């Protein structure tokens, strides 16, 4: 029997998560994410899949973020008709996020085709449309945490809470062949301990192979207490001056809801009463409703508050939802007193671009970067000290005060990654995915120097690598 795992995305980069599991005649994808980053990176999404989509029997989705889910409608359009297993909350979030992605990439394809026509290049077809998304939604099979299901006689699946965003899952897979049973654990994106709203990542003890993300493998986040103090200082300084606006580029799912919760918890302590807090993202507003409806899977503090204050929901107080484009544009007429949360989180699209255009050049304004910024994105350029951003074809000077708050990250840092892995007994082989090379090398160095964290084998996957799962615990790579 053939048992292989091939790494096709999120290898030596943080985007486009996709891994192909082959069990004899069955083929299963772990994630099928959109490639994000530079324009050149985005163009890779137009390439054919390195497999026949109609031959895929199932997709197992770790969570709803687009770099993990965003090419599933494209897969469906190309002939995939099988089930998509994911947590029930992820299925709900995907319906919102994939519709938005279809709209955005259709618009981007139209713009791209105008340039291609001028350069006598063939036009590109949109990756997928609303109908493809609607069909994708029909193929979801929603699961609960801890619910073990048999996909095939040779394969069983269970999802455990990864603590990254609502519905995020650690994927546990039991693979069987004659006389042999192997267990594969895929971390998905791991959250952090003690973060608001969500539970801590579940500890898994047994595995024959672990695939682990490494986004911040070379970084240490500030403690939660220090992060709250840092935010208080930023708001205190901004509010005391009170001459500008505060912009927070935020991922619509996860970070936006976390910020709303913090503004609720610390409204008095941070003296926010004199400021107007706006969530300017239709997708984030829809995602917030999903968070509200799925409160039973939140952490104990969030559930307790929700029960004790039924008329004062922590994600709905002290905030104005901005739905229409006209309402969003009106915010640009306000020169001070606004706290604007808007997507995209990496400043490469969405309404935050317009707000940056009107506020980035103003020294009295503040921009708080509070999430991962991929290479070549405008957000990464800001973090790396760019003196201007190009918005709508024009350079915009960077004069606003820029704050990078790493402690809000929804990804585990080096210490937390190592701590999560060390809970496995017998130190199973460890393969790193979903990380830039510098982050992965930093994590590899730290693991090799650790007296208590010594995997039987340790490697960072490269694109196209194919592993013989039948040879575990030895890592045998196939041509």
For residue 14, pLDDT beyond 80: yes
Tokens (6 digits) for 27: 């083929």
- Stated as kind and residue range, the H or E segment containing 238 is helix 224-241
Cβ count within 10 A of residue 171: 23
For residue 443, pLDDT beyond 90: yes
Give the position of tokens 């609607």: 134
| Rounded CA separation 231/237 (Å) | 10
pTM for this prediction: 0.91
pLDDT-based confidence at residue 310 (cuts at 50, 70, 90): low
Strands (E), 237-344: 246-249, 276-279, 320-321, 338-342
Mean pLDDT of 278-289: 94
For residue 178, pLDDT beyond 80: no
pLDDT tens-digit series, residues 67-90: 999 999 999 999 999 999 999 999
Cβ count within 10 A of residue 128: 24
Q: 170 or 195: which carries more pLDDT confidence?
A: 170
Residues 28 and 86: beta-carbon distance below 8 Å = no
For residue 353, pLDDT beyond 70: yes
Mean pLDDT check: name the lowest of 36-50, 139-153, 195-209, 383-397: 36-50
Distances from the Cα of 397 to the Cα of 118, 209, 260, 343, angstroms: 30, 49, 29, 20
For residue 52, pLDDT beyond 90: yes
| b (16+ CB within 10 A) / e for 10-20 | bbbbbbbbbbb
Position 311 scores a pLDDT of 62
For residue 308, pLDDT beyond 80: no
Q: What is the 3-state secondary structure (H, E, C) of 392-419?
A: CCEEEECCCEEEECHHHCCCCEHHHHHH
For residue 457, pLDDT beyond 90: yes
Q: Rg of the chain's alpha carbons, rounded to an integer?
A: 22
For residue 410, pLDDT beyond 80: yes
Summary mean pLDDT of the chain: 93
pLDDT-based confidence at residue 235 (cuts at 50, 70, 90): confident
Domains parsed from the chain with CATH numbers:
3-219+415-478 (3.60.15.10), 224-408 (3.40.50.10890)
Strands (E), 24-168: 26-30, 58-60, 84-87, 140-143, 149-152, 155-161
pLDDT tens-digit series, residues 240-279: 776 899 999 999 999 999 999 999 889 889 988 889 999 9
Mean pLDDT of 160-167: 97
Residues 37 and 377: beta-carbon distance below 8 Å = yes
Mean pLDDT of 448-471: 96
Mean pLDDT of 100-125: 90
Position 136 scores a pLDDT of 98
Helices (H) and strands (E) in the chain, counts: 14, 23
Give the position of tokens 């969030």: 302
Using a pLDDT cut of 70, give the percent of the chain over it.
99
- Torsion 375-381-382-383 (CA) sign: positive
Q: Give the helix ranges, DSSP H, for 399-475.
A: 414-421, 437-449
For residue 5, pLDDT beyond 80: yes
Mean pLDDT of 446-458: 96
Position 243 scores a pLDDT of 84
Terminal alpha carbon distance of the chain: 17
């Amino acid at each position: 029997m053939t048992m292989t795992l091939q790494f096709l995305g999120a290898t030596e980069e943080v985007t486009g998560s996709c891994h192909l599991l082959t069990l004899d005649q069955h083929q299963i994808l772990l994630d099928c994410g959109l490639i994000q980053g530079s324009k050149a990176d985005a163009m890779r999404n137009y390439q054919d899949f390195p497999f026949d989509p109609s031959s895929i029997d199932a997709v197992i989705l770790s969570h709803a973020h687009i770099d993990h889910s965003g090419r599933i409608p494209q897969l469906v359009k190309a002939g995939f008709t099988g089930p998509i297993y994911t947590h029930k909350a992820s299925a709900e979030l995907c319906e919102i996020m994939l519709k938005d992605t279809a709209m955005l990439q259709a618009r981007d394809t139209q713009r791209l085709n105008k340039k291609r026509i001028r350069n006598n290049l063939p036009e590109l077809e949109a990756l997928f449309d609303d109908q493809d998304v609607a069909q994708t939604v029909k193929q979801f099979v929603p699961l609960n945490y801890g619910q073990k299901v048999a996909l095939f006689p040779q394969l069983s699946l269970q999802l455990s809470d990864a603590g990254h965003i609502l519905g995020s899952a650690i994927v546990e897979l039991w693979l069987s062949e004659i006389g042999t049973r192997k267990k594969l654990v895929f971390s998905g994106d791991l959250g952090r301990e003690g973060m608001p709203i969500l539970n801590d990542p579940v500890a898994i003890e047994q595995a024959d192979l672990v695939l682990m993300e490494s986004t911040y493998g070379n970084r240490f986040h500030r403690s939660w207490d220090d992060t709250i103090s840092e935010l208080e200082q930023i708001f205190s300084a901004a509010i005391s001056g009170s001459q500008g606006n505060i912009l927070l580029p935020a991922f619509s799912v996860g970070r936006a809801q976390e910020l709303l919760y913090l503004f609720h918890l610390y409204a008095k302590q941070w003296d926010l009463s004199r400021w107007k807090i706006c969530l300017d993202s239709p997708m984030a507003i829809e995602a917030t409703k999903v968070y509200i409806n799925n409160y039973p899977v939140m952490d104990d503090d969030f559930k307790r508050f929700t029960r004790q204050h039924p008329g004062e929901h922590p994600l709905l107080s002290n905030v104005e939802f901005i739905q229409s484009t006209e309402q969003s544009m009106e915010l640009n007429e306000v020169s001070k007193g606004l706290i604007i949360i808007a997507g995209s989180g990496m400043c490469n699209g969405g309404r935050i671009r317009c707000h940056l255009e009107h506020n980035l050049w103003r020294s009295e304004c503040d921009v708080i970067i509070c999430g991962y910024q991929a290479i070549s994105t405008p957000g990464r350029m800001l973090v790396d000290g760019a003196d201007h951003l190009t918005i709508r074809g024009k350079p915009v000077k960077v004069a606003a005060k820029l704050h990078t708050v790493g402690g809000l990250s929804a990804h585990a840092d080096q210490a937390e990654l190592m701590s999560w892995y060390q809970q496995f007994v017998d130190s199973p082989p460890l393969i790193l995915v979903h990380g830039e090379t510098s982050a992965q090398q930093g994590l590899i160095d730290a693991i090799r120097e650790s007296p208590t964290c010594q995997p039987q084998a340790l490697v960072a996957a490269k694109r196209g690598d194919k592993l013989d799962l039948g040879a575990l615990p030895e890592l045998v790579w196939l041509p």
